[in-house]
Chains A and B, each alone.
Chain A
């Protein structure tokens, strides 16, 4: 029976980044993942490393995202050096397009509030059409303007996942596909993880199973109030370089394809696509970039976001089951760098990063009204 210091349940971006971080300190680490076909947001996302508009009402989340944007500048070259994989991280700044003056004013108001809440750590600029066109020459004439921050960027999320897996292997960790964890039991001072293919023993267990955390968290005295939220994405044929800056819903990948998304749909555990939604996505892209009219779509997909009630992450150590941890978030690409470089050290014994102290699931109980 395999025995590890740390077992990470879930081999998506969150679990893999944490495991990669844990491996760096010489621990015996295993990642237990489901099979080839699974709900895996990490394989269906948009690839933004994004700070704009994160954390309204929860300024710590903005600071945490900003920290990740900075640490990405270390993570990407480190992965390249270790694994040879270029995850195509770029930080040219990013824009959120505002189609009308009304959108633009509302956006400014929101970001001003966020700047205030973060005591100025979050900085942004509002661009009028001309300023936007200077940054994004391909932009259509009808777009009113945009918000811009220098901290935004993007990466290839698939190469990131591959590089993390390769990095885990390089650092002596183990990635076990086809290892769905059915049950987590306490076993002495550690845990026993039940799989169809036999048990795994570990000192600590980190639940990073995306939507799968819902069933696992309560087994170790934690809660994961998550809901799936579907996003549909289009990808086009490769085109010659056109867009340097990513926008919130259209970016050009390192290969030259245009990636266009995304929708927000409440459809349960269904990661299909709907033509009506894809048509909306295409229409909106054409409103912003009319010259893309004859670019061909080669594929579309749907993927499920791992959504918490307030959109902010949940990180928590179990009180009833010491050694058990929970990590759930949307924005696993953005946060990959903090997960590897700040969250993992906390799990292996360092002090808790200040930004995440309020990010436990306890926050969802505060607002529950007392019944008489």
Chain B
């Protein structure tokens, strides 16, 4: 479990929606950092065995932080910065293709 350190932080608050829940996070955060800081540890389930996963490397190398962000599946949460109103859901198994 992660959280923001209790210390002064001049950054603006940004609100994103995760699985239908509003989360107040900080400007400039990656989606992965914002979710971890909000107590989310499971990001996705694998397409192979549907086992749960969360971020491993935080530097774009491992692809364990995949999420569906603003309707686009399989995006790397650790490489994308939050923006106001962004909607995020877990990536469950293999991605779907919309018509």
Contacts and interface: CB of A to CB of B under 8 A. Distances in A.
Interface in B7-45: none
Interface stretch (A187-195, A199-207, A287-295): A287-295
B94 A256 contact: yes
Q: Contact size class for B? A: 10 to 19
B74 A237 contact: yes
A138 B97 contact: yes
Interface in B40-56: 47
A295 B74 CA distance: 9
A240 B74 contact: no
Question: Which secondary structure dominates chain B's binding surface?
Answer: loop
B99 A239 contact: no
A291 B47 contact: no
Interface of A: 138, 237-240, 242, 255-256, 291-292, 294-296
Nearest to B72: A294
B94 A296 contact: no
Contacts of B74: 237, 296
Interface of B: 47, 72, 74, 93-99
Contacts of A138: 97, 99
A295 B73 CA distance: 9
Nearest to B66: A237
6 contacts: A239-B97, A240-B96, A240-B97, A256-B94, A294-B72, A296-B74
Contacts of A294: 72
A255 to B, nearest CB: 8
A291 B95 contact: no
A275 B47 CA distance: 28
B97 A256 contact: no
A130 B94 CA distance: 29
Nearest to B75: A296
Contacts, number: 29
B64 to A, nearest CB: 14
A238 B97 contact: no
Contacts of B99: 138, 291
A121 B97 CA distance: 39
Contacts of A239: 94-97
A255 B98 CA distance: 19
Contact of A291 (B72, B93, B94, B98): B98
A330 to B, nearest CB: 31
Contacts of B96: 239-240
A256 B47 contact: yes
A138 B97 CA distance: 10
A292 B97 contact: yes
B97 A242 contact: yes
A238 B94 contact: yes
A291 B99 CA distance: 6
A32 B8 CA distance: 68
A78 to B, nearest CB: 27
B19 to A, nearest CB: 19
B98 A240 contact: no
Contacts of B47: 238, 255-256
